[in-house]
Structure 1
Amino acid sequence: NGYNTLQLMAIPEHPYYGSFGYHVSGFFAPSSRFGTPDELKQLVDEAHGMGMAVIMDIVHSHAVKNEVEGLGKYDGTRYQFFHEGGKGEHPAWDSYCFNYGKNEVLHFLLSNVRFWLEEFRFDGFRFDGVTSMLYFDHGLGKAFTSYDDYFDANVDTDATTYFTLANKLMKQVKPHSVSIAEDMSGMPGLAVPISHGGMGFDYRMAMGVPDYWIKLIKEKRDEEWQVGDIFYNLTSKRLDEKVVSYAESHDQALVGDKTIIFRLIDKEMYFNMRKDQPNLIVDRGIALHKIIRLITATTAGGAYLNFMGNEFGHPEWIDFPREGNNWSYKHCRRLWSIADDPELKYHWLYDFDKEMIRFINDHKLLTVPSVDFVSENIPDKVLAYHRGLFLFVFNFHPTQSFTDYGIPLGPGKYTIELNTDSGKFGGYDRIQEDIPYYTLPSGGLNSQHYLKLYLPARTAVVLKRVDFPKVR
Structure 2
Amino acid sequence: MTKQISEEDVYLFHQGTHYFSYQFLGCHRDGVKTRFVVWAPHAKKVELAGDFNDWSGKGYALTKLDNAELWYGSFPDIQENTRYKYRITAPNGDTFLKADPYAFRAELRPLTASVIPSWKQYMWGDQEWELLKAESDPYHSPLLIYELHAGSWKRDDQNLPISYRVLASQLIPYVKELGYTHIELLPLAEHPLDASWGYQITSYYAPTSRHGSINDLKYFIDQCHQHQIGVIIDWVPGHFCKDDHGLRQFDGEALYEYKDPKKAEKPLWGTLTFDYGKPEVQSFLISNAIYWLKEFHVDGLRVDAVASMTSLNFDRPDSEEKLVNSFGNELNLEAIAFLQKLNEVVFHYFPKALMMAEDSSDLPLITHPTSKGGIGFNFKWNMGWMNDLLKYMELDPIYRKWHHQLLTFSMMYHYSENFVLPLSHDEVVHGKKSLLNKMPGDQWQQFANLRLLYGYMMVHPGKKLLFMGGEFGQYIEWRFQQALDWHLFDYPFHHALFHYLTELHKFYHHQPSLYQLDYHPSGFQWIDPDNHEQSIFIFIRKALDLENHLLIVCNFTPVVYYDFNIGVPTPGTYRELFNSDAACYGGSDQNNTEIHFSFPEGWHGQDQHIKIKVPPLAICIFQQVLESTEEELE
Determine whether 1:262 maps to 2:417: no
Distance 2:538 2:452 in 1: 13
Q: Which amino acid aligns with 1:350?
A: F
Aligned to 1:411: 570
Tell me if the contact between 1:12 and 1:29 (Cα under 8 Å) persists in the aligned partners: yes
Aligned to 1:384: 538
Aligned to 1:46: 223
Secondary structure of 2:330's counterpart equals coil
Aligned to 1:460: 619
Tell me if the contact between 2:535 and 2:557 (Cα under 8 Å) persists in the aligned partners: yes
Task: After TM superposition, give the deviation of residue 261 of structure 1 in Å.
Answer: 0.3
The superposition leaves residues 209-243 of structure 1 with CA deviations (integer Å, 9 ceiling, x where unpaired) of 3322333344x322111374243244343415211
Distance 1:82 1:91, change over 3 A: same
Task: After TM superposition, give the deviation of residue 290 of structure 1 in Å.
Answer: 0.6
The superposition leaves residues 236-274 of structure 1 with CA deviations (integer Å, 9 ceiling, x where unpaired) of 43415211103x320233464311202237xxxxxxxxx
Tell me if the contact between 2:266 and 2:315 (Cα under 8 Å) persists in the aligned partners: no
Aligned to 2:608: 449
Secondary structure of 2:599's counterpart equals strand
Higher mean alpha-carbon deviation, 370-379 vs 179-188, is at 370-379
Determine whether 1:357 maps to 2:505: yes
Aligned to 1:347: 495
Tell me if the contact between 2:554 and 2:620 (Cα under 8 Å) persists in the aligned partners: yes
Larger radius of gyration: 2
Tell me if the contact between 1:139 and 1:185 (Cα under 8 Å) persists in the aligned partners: no
Tell me if the contact between 1:192 and 1:240 (Cα under 8 Å) persists in the aligned partners: no
Determine whether 1:307 maps to 2:467: yes
Secondary structure of 1:465's counterpart equals strand
Aligned to 1:275: none
Aligned to 2:164: none
Aligned to 1:137: 313
Alignment equivalent of 1:225, drawn from 381, 385, 400: 400
Task: After TM superposition, give the deviation of residue 421 of structure 1 in Å.
Answer: 1.3
Secondary structure of 2:307's counterpart equals helix
User: What pairs with 1:236-255 in structure 2 (closer than 5 Å)?
Assistant: 236-246=412-422, 248-254=423-429
User: What pairs with 1:43-442 in structure 2 (closer than 5 Å)?
Assistant: 43-68=220-245, 70-138=246-314, 153-218=329-394, 220-226=395-401, 228-246=404-422, 248-254=423-429, 256-264=431-439, 281-301=442-462, 303-321=463-481, 332-336=482-486, 338-339=488-489, 341=490, 344-364=492-512, 365-368=514-517, 369-370=520-521, 371-375=524-528, 376-388=530-542, 389-398=549-558, 400-412=559-571, 413-433=573-593, 435-442=594-601
Tell me if the contact between 1:130 and 1:181 (Cα under 8 Å) persists in the aligned partners: yes
Task: After TM superposition, give the deviation of residue 74 of structure 1 in Å.
Answer: 0.8
Secondary structure of 2:598's counterpart equals strand
Distance 1:462 1:40, change over 3 A: same
Task: After TM superposition, give the deviation of residue 367 of structure 1 in Å.
Answer: 2.3
Secondary structure of 2:447's counterpart equals helix
Tell me if the contact between 1:255 and 1:319 (Cα under 8 Å) persists in the aligned partners: no
Secondary structure of 2:377's counterpart equals coil
The count of corresponding residues between Structure 1 and Structure 2 is 429
Tell me the TM-score normalized by structure 1: 0.85
Tell me if the contact between 1:411 and 1:440 (Cα under 8 Å) persists in the aligned partners: no
Distance 1:107 1:443, change over 3 A: closer
Tell me if the contact between 2:425 and 2:478 (Cα under 8 Å) persists in the aligned partners: no
Task: After TM superposition, give the deviation of residue 355 of structure 1 in Å.
Answer: 1.5
Unaligned segments of structure 1, at least 5 residues: 143-150, 266-279, 322-331
Distance 1:447 1:374, change over 3 A: closer
Task: After TM superposition, give the deviation of residue 5 of structure 1 in Å.
Answer: 0.7
Distance 1:455 1:467 in 2: 23
Q: Which amino acid aligns with 2:516?
A: T
Higher mean alpha-carbon deviation, 417-426 vs 167-176, is at 167-176
Task: After TM superposition, give the deviation of residue 411 of structure 1 in Å.
Answer: 3.1
Secondary structure of 1:190's counterpart equals coil
Tell me if the contact between 1:234 and 1:299 (Cα under 8 Å) persists in the aligned partners: no
Distance 1:468 1:197 in 2: 48
Tell me the TM-score normalized by structure 2: 0.64
Secondary structure of 2:526's counterpart equals strand
Distance 1:33 1:244, change over 3 A: same
Tell me if the contact between 1:390 and 1:462 (Cα under 8 Å) persists in the aligned partners: yes
- RMSD of aligned Cα (Å): 2.5
Aligned to 1:325: none
The superposition leaves residues 320-352 of structure 1 with CA deviations (integer Å, 9 ceiling, x where unpaired) of 34xxxxxxxxxx21244644x5x5211211111
Distance 1:211 1:240, change over 3 A: closer
Secondary structure of 2:433's counterpart equals coil
Distance 1:34 1:360 in 2: 33
Tell me if the contact between 2:567 and 2:602 (Cα under 8 Å) persists in the aligned partners: no
Tell me if the contact between 1:131 and 1:139 (Cα under 8 Å) persists in the aligned partners: no
Task: After TM superposition, give the deviation of residue 468 of structure 1 in Å.
Answer: 4.1
Aligned to 1:324: none
Unaligned segments of structure 2, at least 5 residues: 1-177, 319-326, 543-548, 629-634
